[in-house]
C-alpha cells in the first residue's frame, strides 16, 4: 500500500470514529449519520481500489523486471553488432546497415 493512501485511510478511520463517538453523545458538530455513512463508503471504495492496485502491482513487477532483462540483452547485442559493423565498414557505409552514428 502506498504510504499516502495508507495515511489517508488511517486518518479517515480516526475521523469517522471520532464523529461517530460524538454523534452518539448528541454532539454532531454539523455532521449527520448519512454523511458519516457516505464517508465510510468512500473509505471502503478507496481500500478496495488500493487492494486492486496492489494486486496488479504484484503481477506487474516481475513482468517489468523480465522486460528490463530482455531490453538489456537486446541493447548489449545491438552495441556489439554496431561496434563490429563500424570496425569492418567505412563510415560512409554505416547508414546502409542502419547505423546513423558519426565519429
DSSP-assigned letters across all residues of 9-75: HHHHHHHHHHHHHHHHTT--TT--HHHHHHHHHHHHHHHHHHHHHHHHHHHHHHHHHHHHHHHHHHH
Which residue has 500500500 as its cell numbers? 1
Average pLDDT, the chain: 90
Percent of the chain with pLDDT over 70: 93
Predicted confidence (pLDDT) per residue in 26-60, tens digit? 666 678 889 999 999 999 999 999 999 999 999 99
pLDDT for 102 equals 66
69-74 mean pLDDT:
98
pLDDT for 25 equals 73
Q: What is the distance between the alpha carbons of residues 101 and 82, in angstroms, rounded to a whole number? A: 9
Amino acid at each position: 500500500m502506498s504510504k499516502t493512501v495508507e495515511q489517508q485511510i488511517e486518518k479517515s478511520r480516526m475521523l469517522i470514529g471520532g464523529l461517530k463517538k460524538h454523534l452518539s453523545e448528541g454532539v454532531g458538530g454539523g455532521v449527520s449519520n448519512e454523511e458519516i455513512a457516505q464517508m465510510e463508503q468512500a473509505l471502503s471504495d478507496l481500500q478496495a481500489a488500493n487492494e486492486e492496485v496492489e494486486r496488479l502491482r504484484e503481477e506487474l513487477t516481475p513482468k517489468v523486471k523480465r522486460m528490463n532483462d530482455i531490453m538489456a540483452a537486446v541493447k548489449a547485442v545491438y552495441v556489439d553488432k554496431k561496434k563490429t559493423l563500424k570496425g569492418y565498414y567505412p563510415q560512409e557505409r554505416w547508414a546502409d546497415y542502419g547505423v546513423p552514428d558519426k565519429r
